[in-house]
Structures are given as C-alpha cells and as structure tokens.
Amino acid sequence: MAQQQWTAVDTYFSDVLIGDDPVLAAALAAADAAGLPQIAVAPNQGKLLHLLALTQGARRVLEVGTLGGYSAIWLARALPADGRLITLEIDPTHAEVAAANLKHAGFAELAEVRLGRAAETLAQLVADGTEPFDFVFIDADKPSNPVYFEWALKLSRPGTVIVVDNVVRGGAVADAGSTDPGVLGVRRLHELLAAEPRVSATSVQTVGVKGYDGFTLIRVGS
Ligand code: SAH
Ligand code: DHB
Ligand code: MG
C-alpha cells in the first residue's frame, strides 16, 4: 500500500514538473538494453540534483558511481558550456553505456567518464592537483562512503556541496549493532561528518518510486 502510494505521488510530481524527456528516456532505454541494473536516481531526484547544482552556480561537478549516466546528464545540464563533469565508474560496460548516453545528450566534450575503482581514480585526481569541484554526488558502493567522502573533501573548496545517495538502508542505518557493510559505511560517514569541523551536514529520509531511502547533504566550510 505505502509503496504504491509513494510511486503514484512520484509519478504525479515527475509528470507535472518534468514531463517527457526524450534524451533521458533514451539514456534509460540504452541502459536497460545493455542489462544495467535499474537503480538510477528517480526523475524528481535527478531534477533535485540538477537544481542544487544550478543553485550552487556549479562549473565543476564530480560524480562517484556513473551507472548509465542518468544522474550525470541531469548534473551536466546544470553546467555552463565551458563547465566540467567528471564521473567515476568501475564497470567497463556501465562506463561505455554512460559515455554514449552523455554524447547523445550533447555532453561529449563537457563530461568525462573515468573507468576504475573510485578509491583509485579519486586518489589520482588529487595526485594530479585537479582544480576543486563545486558539487559532488557520491552514489557508488555504499561500504566505501567514508573513503569517498574523505577524497571528496580533498577535492573541495569552501562552499562546495556534497550529496550522498542511499543513506537510509531500509532504516537499518539507525541500528548501532548492524554488521551490514553498507550500513557500517553510512554510519561511519556520519561519524566522520560529526567530527569534521570543516563541514556542516544533514541527512533526510525520503520515500518514492525507489522505496524508503534518503540522502545526506554536506556543505564544506572554511
Ligand atoms: N549515479 C547513478 C547510479 C549509480 S549506481 C545514477 O543515478 O544514474 C552505482 C554505480 O557505482 C554502479 O554503476 C557501479 O558499477 C558503480 N560502482 C560500484 N563500486 C564502484 C567502485 N568501487 N568504484 C567506482 N564505481 C563503482
Ligand atoms: C542500489 C544502489 C543505488 O545507488 C541506489 O540508488 C539504489 C540501489 C543498489 O546497489 O542496490
Ligand atoms: Mg543511488
């Protein structure tokens, strides 16, 4: 019952505020055709990321966990023509589908899919002295969230906004005794956030087409 209602409401919001989007529909169709899992952000969540990046005036966006490039397209659409989006993906098939989808969406120049373990590609970005990012979206393997946050902080400047997806784990995040690696990753992330004087953060629970979940919003201060 609840899930049916959450889906109906999400569908209503997305229909009325987003509507048909042939480029995004094609990206999802290509991802499905290639057998990618259907775990991209929902349309209204994608638009939330887009609006957050726009509000932020972001010119440089970093994403950890590309899948088929659905969220990456929403984020790339928030960038000026000379902006930059770097998205990190471990799976070669996912990366290939995403690169094709981003190209079809008109972002072949602006967006780059970097193949590899994100812990390594993030370290490489830091080693290369990469310019800080204005907006970061962390949405890859959940046990590594603490690691991704630490690297994202190194790639941030005062004012950078970091969003982390899937922080509720079906409610198990509140279970201090959990041994689930995803739960441990999210709880460790929250401990790091609480102890880190350079950031201010909040986490919000959500319901919708993707079920019961939530995200963390982090602002990097000075
Ligand atoms: N952000 C995407 C969904 C990402 S799903 C969207 O909303 O459209 C999570 C992705 O993270 C998957 O494609 C998975 O292959 C990738 N991933 C998992 N472990 C990873 C790792 N260690 N390094 C980089 N990417 C990883
Ligand atoms: C999964 C991953 C996600 O990023 C998500 O939003 C939903 C589900 C998963 O790995 O199952
Ligand atoms: Mg996710």
Q: Per residue in 116-175, pLDDT tens?
A: 999 999 999 999 999 999 999 999 999 999 999 999 999 999 999 999 999 999 999 999
Give every CB contact of residue 143 below 8 A, 6+ residues apart in sequence: 181, 182, 184, 185
pLDDT greater than 70 at residue 60: yes
Supply the pLDDT for residue 222: 73
Residue 13 burial (CB < 10 Å; 0-12/13-18/19+)?
Answer: middle
Query: How far is the C-alpha of 26 from the C-alpha of 105, rounded, in Å?
Result: 9
Residue 98 burial (CB < 10 Å; 0-12/13-18/19+)?
Answer: buried
Supply the pLDDT for residue 15: 98
What is the Å distance from ligand 1's center to 88 Cα?
8
Sign of CA dihedral 193, 199, 204, 208: negative
Say if strands 133-138 and 111-115 run parallel, antiparallel, or are unpaired: unpaired
Ion ligand 3: residues, Cβ under 5 Å: 139, 165-166
Q: Is the CB of 192 under 6 A from ligand 1?
A: no
Of all residues in the chain, what percent carry a pLDDT higher than 70? Answer: 100
Q: Is the CB of 14 under 6 A from ligand 1?
A: no
**Tokens 């590594």, located at residue:** 144
Helix H or strand E encompassing 95:
helix 92-104
Confidence class of residue 1 from pLDDT cuts 50, 70 and 90? Answer: low
Supply the pLDDT for residue 100: 98
The CA-atom distances, in angstroms, between 108 and each of 21, 68, 93, 220 are: 19, 14, 17, 29
pLDDT greater than 90 at residue 17: yes
Query: How far is the C-alpha of 87 from the C-alpha of 120, rounded, in Å?
Result: 13
Q: Is the CB of 71 under 6 A from ligand 2?
A: no
Q: Which of 14, 65, 17, 21 is nearest to 43 (CA)?
A: 14
Q: Is the CB of 166 under 6 A from ligand 2?
A: yes
pLDDT greater than 80 at residue 80: yes
What is the Å distance from ligand 2's center to 208 Cα?
14
Supply the pLDDT for residue 3: 96
Q: Is the CB of 89 under 6 A from ligand 2?
A: no
Say if strands 156-165 and 199-208 run parallel, antiparallel, or are unpaired: unpaired
